[in-house]
Structure 1
C-alpha cells in the first residue's frame, strides 16, 4: 500500500487511509527504484485491514507507480485486464 498524506488533494471517500498499516511509514519504501525489491513494502500491506480499499483506489485512479494494496503497477494492470475480460464475457 502506498503512503497517503493527510493533505491529499483528492482524498477517496471513507478515510480508509486512517487505518492503513503504512500510515507513518517512509513513503520511499512504497516507491522503490526500478528493479529494486518490493518485498518489504508488500510486507507492510500484508494483513492490512484496508488493503482492498487501497487497491481499488489505485486501480480506479490509474496509479502508475508504487505499491498500492500490496500490488505493483504490473500486478494492477493484470487485475484491470482480467476485469475487462470478465466484463466483456458477461456482456456477451
Structure 2
C-alpha cells in the first residue's frame, strides 16, 4: 500500500507539473494493470505506457514523485512497478553500505 504520509500537501506548485503530462486524457488502464495480468500482455501494456512517457515533458518529475512516495502501482515516469522497486532497493543498499562501510550483502 502507498505511504500517503510521504505525499506533499495540497500546494498547487508541487502538483502543477501534472498539467503538462502526456498521459493527461489517456485511459488510466494503460498505466495500471488489471487483476491477474501477466506475461506478454503485461509487457505489451507497459511498453505502450512507456511510449507515452518517453514523449512526456514532465517524465523526470513524474518518476521522481513515484520514487519519493514509493508508489507501488502502475507505470510512472516511464518506470514500471518492478523497475521502481529495483531502484529503491539499490538506493537502500547504497545507504546501508555508506553508513556501515561494508556492502549490504557482507
Question: What's the TM-score, normalizing by structure 1?
Answer: 0.77
- Superposition pairs of residues 25-64 of structure 1, within 5 angstroms: 25-33=26-34, 34-35=37-38, 36=42, 37=44, 38-64=46-72
Match status 1:65 vs 2:73: yes
Partner of 1:85: 93
**Deviation for aligned residue 1:52:** 1.4
More helix by share: 2
CA pair 11-27 structure 1, distance change in 2 beyond 3 A:
farther
Q: Extract unaligned runs of 5+ from structure 1.
A: 1-9
Return the structure number with greater relative CO, CA threshold 8 A, min gap 6.
1
TM-score (normalised: structure 2): 0.68
In angstroms, what is the RMSD of aligned CA positions?
Answer: 1.8
- Work out the CA distance in 2 between the residues paired with 1:74 and 1:14: 24
Structure possessing the higher radius of gyration over alpha carbons = 2
Q: CA deviation at 1:23?
A: 1.0
Aligned-residue offset at 1:71: 1.1
Do structure 1's residue 17 and structure 2's residue 26 form an aligned pair? no
Aligned length: 83
Find runs of 4+ consecutive structure 1 residues off by over 4 angstroms: none
